[in-house]
Amino acid sequence: MNQLYPRAYYVLLRFCLVGLMLYAGCSTLFGQVDTTQHKAEKGATDSLATPYSTATADSILMQRDSIFYTRLKTSMYKRRLTRQLYDAVFRDVYNSRVHTGEVNKIEVNPFMPFAGRIIGTIYIRRLGVFGQSVYDTLRQSGNWLERTANRVHVNTRENVIRRSYLLFKEGDEVSPNVMRDNERLLRTTSIFHDARILIMPREGSRQFVDVYVITQDVWSLLPTGGVGALNRFSVGFEQRNFRGLGHQLYSQIAYDGNDRRQRAEYRGRYVVPFIGKTFLTAQANLLYLRDLKQASVQLYRPFLTPDTKYAGSIEINHTNVNNRIITRDDSVVLVPLRYNYSDVWFGRSFRLFSGRSDSDEKGRSRLIIAVRNINYEYTSRPSVTADTNQLYQDSRTTLFSLGFSRRKYTRDVLIYGFGRTEDVPVGESVAGVVGFDNAELGQRLYTGLNFSQGKYVRQVGYLYGLISFGGYLRAHRMEQGVLSLESNYFSPLMNTRWGNLRHFFNTRFTTGIGRFDNEYISLGNNGSRLNTDGIGINSDALRGTRRWLINYENILFSRLSLAGFRVAVSTFANLGLVSFPDQPLLGGPLYQGYGIGFRLRNENLTFNSFQIRFSFFPNIPNNRTPFRYAFEDIPTLRFRDFDLSAPQITPYR
């Protein structure tokens, strides 16, 4: 839809941003809440603040909160039980200097002291979207606008959280790793801004404990669309938590009266996550676009935690598409295709080093075996021969994988988010894949190998590396092979007078081996607006069979809050090389992109981050101007995890 109405889309984004700025500006105008005036709920459950992290705050809030927490501590220290409660859930962060906002990386599992105790009562505490925090539930909405927004929003239902999002129940023994995994699982779902689990000893009992689950939803309703003219518009919405059930609904209609091929288009998606205690997710998609008609249904369950034993997926898809192909001589060809697609896989995880404790470095190591079947059946396509259009041959591929995975998660902040808790995966994985492709042009053997590792290096930062290799073998010759090397790095959080700063460095090398005609990779962003996917600009000239991409970016998470949005300033430099087999990669031109961007995000909203970016591309072919300006929304980046799932064919991208 962005391609059809880019100007209208940007106008809509500006409109949404201005509206949100006005909303938050009114919030500031009507004043902040006096945090000393609150009522307790369920006894101690309202007195919950962070034991292991601090958020960057301005000096006025720090002084105000310091006075309040000093009085609160004096009051709670008068009795033994309330003193223990305060020590368990509070930290005197407001009575000390301002920290960088970084979560401790050397962590001790806070649930370890309660290992083996019996869970008595589980209390669910659902916070409002605005005002409160899972680390400071005493703060409330500051004005009638925020209070009205909290009333309008339907929080995730308590029974839904109990039935579908908890890995434990009343009467279970406390497993520290299950608790920690569950806390991370809640944070990674799209309906929660943040989540926290606390265990409190039950007074008078050495066996039972009570568990408090604290969740804070995000504002879930997002209008979408734009207007380009009276006869050219789109309208729709996305609801990420339909009626508090956790269901996700997306629907959008577009109309273009000037399009002779198809005037009306539709996009729809419905997702039901975590069905009961099965942790299965069901999803249905419908696309009715000018060049793409597609209907699909999927039922899947990943390895959510290292302790998950079974995972799998089944997907059925029918597609009718006009595939856009750029030939070697730069001509553009539309290839009409119609096909049925099915994908089924199943995996089983086995624990290794059974004598080890789960808190041990090797205690969460897993051996994972999986099998997968992929089927393509074309009902409309161009003529397929041994030399042409090999991409469109009917095929049935069966893959088997055997892998090793070891992973844990370290909490941190201000990496890809703007203050929310982020769970950084640490560990490694290695997997070998073999299988048979019963293709129309003859049976092929597939082999592949993947290795990845990531860890924090003290005083250096986070390092991640990935090596992937795979391809088909037929008649002692490799077809559609690919070798990919990738490395990512981000620095420790640095405290400056203007805010908190991180450096990011990414590099990726990809080469194709025996690829079919018209199979290319590009230095462009492939439709993504993230610099890590390319050099920051799309161009049909930036393609080949080999590519080397280097990205550098630094992000300053400023202390400035513009109308309720946190502001970050980024500068970037992107370098790339691309070539065909008959050209040396290092002998070609070094394509470049440089720029500065300003990002705004409110973590309590489902909206993507907004970005204003100014870029300079000095040597892009057929580029009419080297200077570019963009006002866009960008999705939040996700960490590469070390969980193994379906046997993968190494992607060529």
Domain total for the chain?
A: 1
Render pLDDT for 151-207 as a digit per residue (tens, 0 to 9).
888 889 999 999 999 999 999 999 988 998 899 889 888 888 888 899 999 888 889
Across 26-35, 298-307, 588-597, least confident range: 26-35
User: What is the predicted pLDDT for the residue at 388?
Assistant: 85
pLDDT reading at 75 higher than 90: no
Considering only the C-alpha atoms of the chain, give the largest distance between any 2 of them, rounded to a whole number of Å: 85
User: What is the predicted pLDDT for the residue at 549?
Assistant: 94
Q: 71 lies in a domain?
A: yes
Render pLDDT for 435-483 as a digit per residue (tens, 0 to 9).
999 988 889 999 999 999 999 988 899 999 999 999 999 888 999 999 9
Q: 194 lies in a domain?
A: yes
CATH code of the domain containing 196 = 3.10.20.310
φ, ψ at 107 (rounded to 5°): -110, 150
Q: 165 lies in a domain?
A: yes
DSSP code of residue 317: E
Q: 55 lies in a domain?
A: yes
pTM strictly above 0.85: no
Render pLDDT for 528-578 as a digit per residue (tens, 0 to 9).
445 556 788 888 788 889 999 999 999 998 877 665 678 889 999 999 999
Q: 21 lies in a domain?
A: no
Q: How far is CA 269 from the centre of its chain?
A: 18
Range 140-147 contact pairs with CB under 8 angstroms and sequence separation of 24 or more: 140/33, 140/35, 140/38, 141/33, 142/27, 142/30, 142/31, 142/32, 142/33, 143/26, 143/27, 143/30, 143/31, 143/33, 144/30, 145/23, 145/26, 145/27, 145/30, 146/27
The mean predicted confidence, pLDDT, of the chain is 79
Rounded to an integer, the average pLDDT of 392-399 is 93
Q: 399 lies in a domain?
A: no
Q: 105 lies in a domain?
A: yes
Render pLDDT for 338-368 as a digit per residue (tens, 0 to 9).
999 999 999 999 988 765 555 555 667 899 9
Q: 617 lies in a domain?
A: no
pLDDT reading at 36 higher than 90: no
Q: Which of 500, 510, 498 is nearest to 469 (CA)?
A: 510
Across 284-293, 366-375, 596-605, least confident range: 596-605
385: exposed, middle or buried (C-beta count within 10 Å: 0-12, 13-18, 19+)?
exposed
Domain region containing 107: 32-217
Torsion, Cα of 188, 175, 644, 164 (10° steps): -50
